[in-house]
Amino acid sequence: MGIIGSIIMGLIVGIVAKMLMPGKDPGGIIITILLGIVGGFVGGYIGRLLGIGDGGLLIQFALAVAGAVILLFGYRLISNR
């Protein structure tokens, strides 16, 4: 997937991550979407390390959501201090 496709998928992933982890975010929806984009890259990287990164769109989407949820959780921990 190209860089534009990764960014678009990251936007969707950020919205899904926000739905999976509802609540008040310190940065609002824009930060959540940006975390989704970064989570997409992190999830893709982890998938490539595990050898499952090229397993299809559904696997890539699941990895990206997992990465975004992890980043969102970490962001909430850091920003609430």
**pLDDT value, residue 29:** 66
**pLDDT value, residue 51:** 82
How many angstroms separate the first and last alpha carbons of the chain?
A: 37
CA-closest candidate to residue 9, choices 56, 73, 75, 74: 56
Burial of 6 per CB tally in 10 Å (0-12, 13-18, 19+):
middle
Which residues of the chain carry a pLDDT beneath 50?
none
Cβ proximity of 68 and 39 under 8 Å: yes
Global pTM value: 0.75
